[in-house]
Amino acid sequence: MRKSIIAILFIGFLITISKLSFCQPEIHQHGEVWNIGDFGEDRINIIYMGDGFTKKDLVKGHMYDLAAIACYNRIFSTEPFKTYRNYFNFQVIYLESKDEGIDYGDDGIIKTTVLNCGFGNFGKQRNIGSSSDDKIIFYAEKVLGREKSPKDFIIVGVNDKKYGGFAPWESNVAYYSAAAKTENRDVNALHEFGHAFGLLADEYSFAKRYYSLPEEFYLYKNTESAYNISYHSDPKKVKWSKFIGLPGYEDIGVFEGGHTYEKGLYRPTKQSIMRGFKKTTFNAPSRYQIYNRIHSLMGKACSFEDFLKNDKNNK
């Protein structure tokens, strides 16, 4: 009798153990790659990678997945990326860090993370950067299976509650806080991608900053760069002059303030995603610039008329 009770208990123990192991959560492995949505050859590639995500965040359906999906959804629900979705691939590479969060250099907080990201880039606390750009390129090229080209863009989401972002000029890389305590964290990802992909400038300004450098000194003269900022206040001279007075584009004009300067530089609309989060969409000149970038990277013909024909105008 006693033996049979022990046998029953032992069988019960085995069943419990097998159930426990069966219930182990599925975890994405370090280096695993996932294509979100439609994938094709010879497209513009967006590679999403995370820093400061620990093993528990790599459980399927948890933090890493949610951050990547939210970023994907934000980009491709916004024009003109929505209309031209089929020109893009969006691939996620799963990277496991030892520590959660990233460095706060000014406060002496140093984390051990796979991409060595931290706040405080270029002397600003909310600017995120990496001290190991080579690792970012390494993982991007692991996904691509070749050397990175101008058609390849990288979004680095950091698992940190502090709000921040950055996109080093013409680097094809955008950083943002994927765990920031704000509902705008994914809008912020798109803002930074606006810099990285569209070569767009910020449209916000800080009080009492007056731009006084000559036009040719900086990037405002080049139409490929900072298409949404002008040195001129004359509607005929701004880069987006062809939108002014066009039916359906009545919000486009010349507004003082942009690229962090309150005076001396001008932007096309009162609000847009490049100014703040009161509007979460790109204004028409920025959409046109992104449209041109997409077509030039894809080697396809483009024109202002074609842009207008396909523009969804989601102001």
Residues that bind Zn ion (CB under 5 A): 202
Q: State which residue, 64 or 119, has the beta carbon closest to Zn ion.
A: 119
Q: How far is the CB of 194 from Zn ion (least distance, A)?
A: 8
Q: State which residue, 79 or 202, has the beta carbon closest to Zn ion.
A: 202
Give me the residues paired with residue 156 across strands.
49, 175
Q: Are 171 and 197 in contact (CB under 8 A)?
A: no
In whole angstroms, what is the distance from residue 151 CA to residue 274 CA?
A: 22
Q: How far is the CB of 203 from Zn ion (least distance, A)?
A: 9
Query: DSSP letter at 201?
Result: P
Q: State which residue, 57 or 202, has the beta carbon closest to Zn ion.
A: 202
Where residue 116 falls (left for φ over 0; alpha for ψ -120 to 50; beta otherwise) is left
In angstroms, how far is the first alpha carbon of the chain from the final one?
A: 79
Q: State which residue, 160 or 202, has the beta carbon closest to Zn ion.
A: 202
In whole angstroms, what is the distance from residue 192 CA to residue 163 CA?
A: 13
Q: State which residue, 28 or 191, has the beta carbon closest to Zn ion.
A: 191
- For 211-315, list the strands marked E by DSSP: 255-258, 260-267
In whole angstroms, what is the distance from residue 241 CA to residue 238 CA?
A: 5
Q: How far is the CB of 158 from Zn ion (least distance, A)?
A: 16
Q: How far is the CB of 182 from Zn ion (least distance, A)?
A: 15
Nearest alpha-carbon partner for 113 in 143, 138, 135: 135
Residue nearest to Zn ion (CB): 202
Q: How far is the CB of 198 from Zn ion (least distance, A)?
A: 11
Q: How far is the CB of 174 from Zn ion (least distance, A)?
A: 10
Q: State which residue, 127 or 241, has the beta carbon closest to Zn ion.
A: 127
